[in-house]
Chain A
Amino acid sequence: GAVVSQHPSWVICKSGTSVKIECRSLDFQATTMFWYRQFPKQSLMLMATSNEGSKATYEQGVEKDKFLINHASLTLSTLTVTSAHPEDSSFYICSARESTQSAPIYGYTFGSGTRLTVV
């Protein structure tokens, strides 16, 4: 089945630095990828939708300049948390839909997530 690789699985960074999280579709092409944030014991909140070759669409309340998303190829999307602060500490998950699967019923494949801790 479709596999999405997310890296790193966990990262600790100092306040004020930037962190990049990668999301790769390993055996399929993904025209659309999604980035979610999940706080402890809470649901997944969609942050943004990225489409290959175009600008990402951010959800209301998500700072575009803080969470930079790049979807430069059909197999790679990156989320960069810029000037990270402790309140950015969270679990970030990406997901992707195979471009050949035109039927939305197939849902999406999720990465294994990245736990970000800003100290």
Chain B
Amino acid sequence: AQTVTQSQPEMSVQEAETVTLSCTYDTSESDYYLFWYKQPPSRQMILVIRQEAYKQQNATENRFSVNFQKAAKSFSLKISDSQLGDAAMYFCAYRSAHRDDKIIFGKGTRLHILP
């Protein structure tokens, strides 16, 4: 079974600085998708960034980028120029490309932004 592990329950970063959230996953599949979701205090789940496993190029979305290391099964999220609005719970997630539609979430990392 696939698993997603986020080893940092909480992190803090100074406003305007850069922070990296870690995520590792375990799977025997070769084709899959990885996501980072943000859940602010409103608890609305927001898709931050996504990565296709067959693509070597790391995905980027404005201030958000990932470091995807397929062999190491690592998928970290880097937030540049952190803003107060980035404060939220961040979930790393995995989805098989073939098996079924389920998204498997990690336990999350709570990110605090220090003014």
A interface residues with partner B (beta carbon < 8 Å)? 32, 34, 38, 41-44, 46, 49, 91, 93, 95, 97, 104-108, 110, 112-113
Contact = CB atoms under 8 A, between A and B. Distances in A.
Contacts of B103: 34, 46, 95, 107-108
Contacts of B46: 110
A106 B97 CA distance: 11
Given A34-B103, A46-B102, A107 B108 contact: no
21 contacts: A38-B43, A41-B110, A42-B107, A43-B91, A43-B105, A43-B107, A43-B108, A44-B91, A46-B102, A46-B103, A49-B102, A93-B43, A104-B33, A104-B95, A104-B101, A105-B52, A107-B35, A108-B103, A112-B42, A112-B43, A113-B44
Interface residues of B, number: 23
Nearest to A32: B101
B16 interface: no
A117 B110 CA distance: 24
A33 B45 CA distance: 15
B112 interface: no
Most buried by A among B43, B44, B97, B107: B43
B33 A110 contact: no
A77 to B, nearest CB: 13
Contacts of A104: 33, 95, 97, 101
Given A107-B103, A110-B45, A113-B44, 10 more contacts: A34-B103, A43-B91, A43-B108, A49-B101, A93-B45, A97-B101, A104-B33, A105-B33, A107-B95, A112-B44
